[in-house]
Amino acid sequence: MKLYGYFHSSAAYRVRIALNLKALTYEQVPVNLLKGEERNPIFRQLNPQSLVPVLITADGQVLTQSLAICEYLEEVYPLPPLLPAEASGRARVRALAQLVACEIHPLNNLRVLKYLKRVLGVEEEAKWSWYRHWIAEGFSALESLLTDSPDTGRFCHGDAPTLADVCLLPQVFNAERFQCDLSRYPTIRRIADACAELPAFAKAHPAGQPDAA
């Protein structure tokens, strides 16, 4: 398999973790988002969304959108599972994953920060307040959901990592990278630490990728 990504992309980071958890081997093709390589015509032909990640599967299919890619991996390579067996647990894990992937990350990714600055002329300080606002909104909710549920274990759902953790750790990495205060989220902190200890998560860390500066 071949993964088009970028070391700092949170969405690509998720897919690296999922691939590693399932012990799948993959070649990485860097797409430098800071240089705007996602707008390159060759890449756009692969993915008209101009977004990473893109996964080329073992049989040559082109897959986009990190959560859709993770669900594909779960269906084709079911072990170890990233989702619980029963429907209600699966719904909980997917909701926690989507809280990150639909409510926090889309508001804070590079193309949005660029628009705020270049088009709306938002000052640096206000831009980072925006960033921290959406982290705080999302993490406050996530912290409540994790703290209040008996389903939370060593990880977001039970004692093995799931799709929720696959989304959580990259978001915590981003939050720390931009100096967000995480002291109010002890459960998120504890789970992120538990994730970071696992080789599948550690190997996916941005700093260890071939395109890391």
> Per-residue string for binding with a copy of itself, 64-83, x by CB under 8 A?
xx-xxx-xx--xx-------
- Residue 16 interacting with a copy of itself (CB under 8 A): no
Listed in sequence order, the residues at least 6 apart from 29 whose beta carbon sits closer than 8 Å to its beta carbon are 2, 3, 4, 5
CB 162 within 8 A of CB 151: no
Query: Does 58 interact with a copy of itself (rule: CB under 8 A)?
Result: no
- In sequence order, which residues have a C-beta less than 8 Å from that of residue 60 and are 6 or more positions away? none
The tokens describing 177, both together, are 């990278």
Tell the smallest beta-carbon distance from residue 53 to a copy of itself (Å): 11
Query: How many chain residues touch a copy of itself (CB under 8 A)?
Result: 47
Of the candidates 81, 95, 73, the residue with the CA atom closest to the CA atom of residue 16: 73
Residue 187 contacts a copy of itself per CB under 8 A: no
CA 73 to chain CA centroid, Å, is 15
What character string, x for contact with a copy of itself (CB under 8 A) and - otherwise, covers 80-119?
-------xx-xxx-xx-xxx-xxx-xxx----x--xx--x
Residue ranges in 115-174 that form contacts with a copy of itself under rule CB under 8 A? 115-116, 119-120, 122, 126, 129-130, 133, 140-141, 144-145, 148
Examine residue 184 and tell whether it contacts a copy of itself (CB under 8 A): no
Environment class of 45 (CB within 10 Å of its CB; exposed 0-12, middle 13-18, buried 19+): exposed
Answer whether 93's CB lies under 8 Å from 101's CB.
no
Under the rule (CB under 8 A), what is the footprint of a copy of itself? 48-51, 57, 61, 63-65, 67-69, 71-72, 75-76, 87-88, 90-92, 94-95, 97-99, 101-103, 105-107, 112, 115-116, 119-120, 122, 126, 129-130, 133, 140-141, 144-145, 148
